[in-house]
Chains A and B, each alone.
Chain A
Amino acid sequence: MTPTRLPWNWSIERKLPLFFSALLVAVVLVMLGAAYQQVRNAALGFASERVLRSNKEWVSVFQRSATTQRTQTTTLAADPGLRDFVTSGGRRGRDWALAAMRRIAPDATPNVAMEVWDSGGHRLLLRGDSALATDPAPVPASDSAVIGPFRLRHDTLLYYQVDAAVRRGAEGAVVGRVVQIRRLNLSALARQMLTGIAGGDMTLLLGNAAGEPWTDLEKLIPPPPAEARAHRDTTVAATYERDGTKIGAAAPIPGTPWMFFSELSQQHVLAPSLGYLRRMSLIAAVIVLVGALGAWWVSRRITDPLRHLTTAAAAIASGDLAQRVDVPGTDELGHLGRSFNAMAGEVQRARSDLEHQVVERTQALRETNAELEAFSYSVSHDLRAPLRAIHGFARILLEDHGTQLEPEAKRVLSVIDENTRRMGHLIDDLLAFSRLGRKEVETARVDMAELVRTVAEEVRRGAGDRALDITIGPLPPARGDRDMLRQAITNLLDNAAKFTRRRTPGLIDVGHRADGAETVYYVKDNGAGFDPRYAGKLFGVFQRLHRAEEFEGTGVGLAIVQRIVLRHGGRVWAEGQLDAGATFFFTLRGADA
């Protein structure tokens, strides 16, 4: 999966509300989390408190009941009639014994049975439900009655017994024991009554501290987990897993081997907290929504003027200088709007001044150009006519009167002839150079390879039989004025051909190298070269580095090349050594630029 690019380049109008909404969501989530945690802790603490209080109350109830039964049984054991009954081995006083028993529990009291045993392990009497009859057991050592653990018979009958020793007299020997047996009356009603008092949601359990059996007063159940039963902290209830997470605590009932246990379901305890969380989330969602809308509104308040400014700035940039913005108010945006308008006014004024100046300068330039044109026209016309006359009449003198002239006169005439010719070339070249400055550069895509091939063909033709080898490398197209570039290349190749005249063969190499958006073209030859100290003079008008006897020329060709390249925004330079060839470089923009 490719990572999504963060939208930092979104507009402020989107970023600002998004940022505020995210901030709001984060704050609301943290607050919601903290609030829920607090409510949850409070609910759990309250549940723990309830469990512990329930234990305390019920333990005291059961403790009172146990004390009563122990007292009853002890009293029964100390009854003189019953003592006599036991001492006689059951032979007399049976009615006395029954009467004493009746004082504790009237006849036909359900769930209660009583037994009398002698010390030999014989049951002397059983009153009540025979299903509750117990087995022989040792006589308790204590003088007060002892409450036994809950016991199970036939998997359904849950009972406990209270034993007390019977003595011959108040301080006499132990002769037997009485047993009060009580069955726990398990029923849905009993459970409901018990839990109803505790609040309805609490599970109350009763059982032996040492282990089974346990009951919820309706039925037998497995005992609570040993860890929960072993939990003795009286300030916090235990939390454990049993059919879901439960909060519960055990409490031993003093004077008995029993244990009471209160238990709450954590899910039930936390239900109100979750409801609270849901309500708060709803409110939080509304807050976030309102906040986001507010942030959007604020960001619109900021970005609308900015958008106006942008539109106005774009309009000004595209030339509509009369554009102004309407951003009222005294806040930062209002200041910005006023500053913008002031700036636009200034730009408009400056622009109009500039236009005036441009009109004036253009006019002046046009006049200068016209003068220059008139001047060069005059030079072209008026300088050439006398020159033609000098040359023409010198020729006439030679042709018509040659026979009468001495050889020295003829030589002088030939000097005149040669110099007038040269003057003619100078004027022609100078005019060409000056014309170049006035001509518009008409740019188009120019196929340099084709152009160089054409010019090279002409130069090769002009070289006649001389061995001249022109190599043309691959040349990329350029942007420029085809006629001007043709002139420049013609001058460079003519130059190279001229200065390689004394080489056999003359070698000319035309190539290029890329340099960013520009292309550097070069023309390299193995000709006479030049002294690099004078390299700066190469491109000046009428500047020559060779004597006229060596190589003819007016010194304008390279000046024309430089002027053409400069007018194309390029650069031109040369490298070379005397008698070691020369390389001329020029740069042009690529055809795609």
Chain B
Amino acid sequence: MTQPHEVEILLVEDNPSDAELTLRALKQRNLANQVFVCHDGAEALEFFFGDGSHALREIGAVPKVILLDLKLPKVDGLEVLRRLKEEDRTKKIPVVVLTSSREEPDIARAYRLGANSYIVKPVDFEAFARAVSDVGLYWLLLNHPPR
């Protein structure tokens, strides 16, 4: 399992199938080595803002990109996004919303809260794999984050 301090991609996804498919798509581009998966919104918040009792707590661990599903148990994706973009420490991390929802209000709200991209997960696996790996490639290798 990838340790928190080495995390480059944080995947927040409750559906194990989608998580597996995402990891597989990233793996095909050799991007899956430093991926950490959170299974709900609460876990994602714990990763960044936990009080340390949780194993995930690691101050200073800053992933290069967060792939965020919107429909999550406990705390939903938009709430996670809001909290991340409120905090100085985390607001520079690019957040790519990766969701099944094509609903206009979701897209508008996500961008208003500061999402950097909004990707609708295609049903078609090839298309899905292409989208995920393109996103990973772009944010990890091509994008220069601010120092």
What is A's interface to B at a CB cutoff of 8 Å? 373, 376-377, 380-382, 384-389, 391-396, 420-421, 423-424, 427-428, 431, 435
**Chain B residues with Cβ under 8 A from A423's Cβ?**
123
CA distance A380 to B105 in the complex (A): 13
Contact of B128 among A380, A388, A394 (CB under 8 A): A388
Are A387 and B102 neighbours in the complex by a CB distance under 8 Å? no
Task: Label chain A's interface by main secondary structure.
Answer: helix
Are A385 and B18 neighbours in the complex by a CB distance under 8 Å? yes
Are A377 and B122 neighbours in the complex by a CB distance under 8 Å? no
| Least Cβ–Cβ distance between A439 and chain B, in angstroms | 8
Contact of A384 among B106, B121, B125 (CB under 8 A): B121
CA distance A431 to B123 in the complex (A): 14
Known contacts A392-B128, A424-B122; is-contact A385 B103 (Cβ 8 Å): no
CA distance A520 to B21 in the complex (A): 50
Known contacts A384-B121, A424-B123; is-contact A389 B102 (Cβ 8 Å): no
CA distance A391 to B126 in the complex (A): 9
Best-buried of B15, B17, B102, B123 by chain A (most CB within 10 Å): B123
> Does B24 sit within 8 A of A, measured CB to CB?
yes
> Does B90 sit within 8 A of A, measured CB to CB?
no
The 8 lowest CB-CB distance pairs between A and B, nearest first, are: A424-B123, A389-B17, A392-B125, A392-B21, A384-B100, A381-B100, A395-B125, A391-B125
CA distance A384 to B99 in the complex (A): 10
**Chain B residues with Cβ under 8 A from A424's Cβ?**
122-124
Known contacts A389-B18, A396-B24; is-contact A431 B128 (Cβ 8 Å): no
> Does B51 sit within 8 A of A, measured CB to CB?
no
Known contacts A389-B18, A393-B17; is-contact A380 B125 (Cβ 8 Å): no
Q: List 8 A-B contacts (CB under 8 A).
A: A381-B99, A385-B100, A385-B121, A392-B128, A393-B21, A394-B125, A424-B122, A431-B102
What is B's interface to A at a CB cutoff of 8 Å? 15, 17-18, 21, 24, 70-71, 99-104, 106, 121-126, 128
Are A435 and B104 neighbours in the complex by a CB distance under 8 Å? yes
| Least Cβ–Cβ distance between B73 and chain A, in angstroms | 13
Q: Please give me the residue from chain B that is nearest to A388 by CB atom.
A: B123
Best-buried of A391, A392, A393, A428 by chain B (most CB within 10 Å): A392
**Chain B residues with Cβ under 8 A from A394's Cβ?**
125
Are B102 and A380 neighbours in the complex by a CB distance under 8 Å? yes
Are B124 and A391 neighbours in the complex by a CB distance under 8 Å? yes
Other than A388-B17, A424-B123, give 9 A-B pairs with Cβ distance below 8 A: A381-B70, A384-B100, A385-B15, A388-B18, A388-B128, A392-B24, A393-B17, A393-B21, A435-B104
Are A392 and B17 neighbours in the complex by a CB distance under 8 Å? yes
**Chain B residues with Cβ under 8 A from A381's Cβ?**
70-71, 99-101
Are B103 and A384 neighbours in the complex by a CB distance under 8 Å? no
**Chain A residues with Cβ under 8 A from B104's Cβ?**
435
Are B123 and A421 neighbours in the complex by a CB distance under 8 Å? yes
**Chain B residues with Cβ under 8 A from A387's Cβ?**
123
Q: Please give me the residue from chain B that is nearest to A378 by CB atom.
A: B71
Are B123 and A376 neighbours in the complex by a CB distance under 8 Å? no
| Least Cβ–Cβ distance between A164 and chain B, in angstroms | 148
| Least Cβ–Cβ distance between B98 and chain A, in angstroms | 12
Are A388 and B71 neighbours in the complex by a CB distance under 8 Å? no
| Least Cβ–Cβ distance between A415 and chain B, in angstroms | 15
Are B15 and A395 neighbours in the complex by a CB distance under 8 Å? no
